[in-house]
Amino acid sequence: MSIRAKKLSILFVPALIVLVLDQITKYLVRTNPGLHRVDVIEGWLALNFTKNPGMALGMDWLSTPAISIVAILATIGILSYILYTLNKANYAYLLCMGLIIGGALGNITDRLFMAIAGGYGGVLDGHVVDFIHFNLTIGDWAVFPYIFNIADIAISTSIIVLLFFHRKIMPIEHTSESENINEDQVDETVHQNETAIVSENE
């Protein structure tokens, strides 16, 4: 397997795994009323089936079709950038981006087809299925009041990793200026070595 083929596998295999897991879990929760409201760990974690017409974390600045279009265009843009920088990308970066692409595709799939499956709209009208609810409360304060899904977990985890380890993970851009500086440093080192050799011979 060539290096390029290996890099593409590291990018797309995690994306496919996240997409499949996301859609399977959403289908199971959506089609089983017994899973719509379930305490998994009482006071900590529950299944709470909801349909989100807006963006992540309950934001609804735009209409559902507009959000769907933005999500599709953003995913295409991100994927285009990944492929453009593929030669410079390391495996950790591609793994993270694969998880992000898979998560984005999972939620986009909902936006494209859920309205048709649910009979409440057409393409782009779909609401994203959310069901994982971290329902821990301290007093009257909900620690994390949002409901999310497998796709959201993949996206959020990857973004956190990229933020914390971006110096090691992000593709390195080599500029002509830095190359010139390196060449100057090499020339200076060679000159110093030559001077030292001459001095020793004298």
pLDDT exceeds 80 at position 146:
yes
Please report, for the chain, the start and end positions of each structural domain, with discontinuous segments joined by +: 3-171, 175-202
Mean pLDDT, rounded, for 45-64 = 83
What are 68-86's pLDDT values in tens digits? 999 999 999 999 999 999 9
pLDDT exceeds 60 at position 188:
no
Active site amino acids: 130, 152
Helix or strand holding residue 137 (H, E):
strand 137-138
User: Is 110 within 8 Å of 126 (Cβ atoms)?
Assistant: yes
Using only C-alpha atoms, what is the Rg of the chain? 24
Minimum mean pLDDT among 47-51, 80-84, 170-174, 182-186: which range? 182-186
pLDDT exceeds 60 at position 179:
no
CA distance 27 to 195: 74
Cβ within 8 Å of residue 130, ≥6 positions away: 48, 49, 50, 51, 52, 147, 148, 149, 152
The residue ranking higher by pLDDT, 36 or 184, is 36
Specify the pLDDT at position 57.
Answer: 59
Minimum mean pLDDT among 58-67, 139-148, 153-162, 184-193: which range? 184-193
For 182, list phi and psi in degrees, rounded to 5.
-65, -40
pLDDT exceeds 50 at position 46:
yes
The structure tokens listed for 164 are 């914390």
Say if pTM beats, i.e. exceeds, 0.85: no
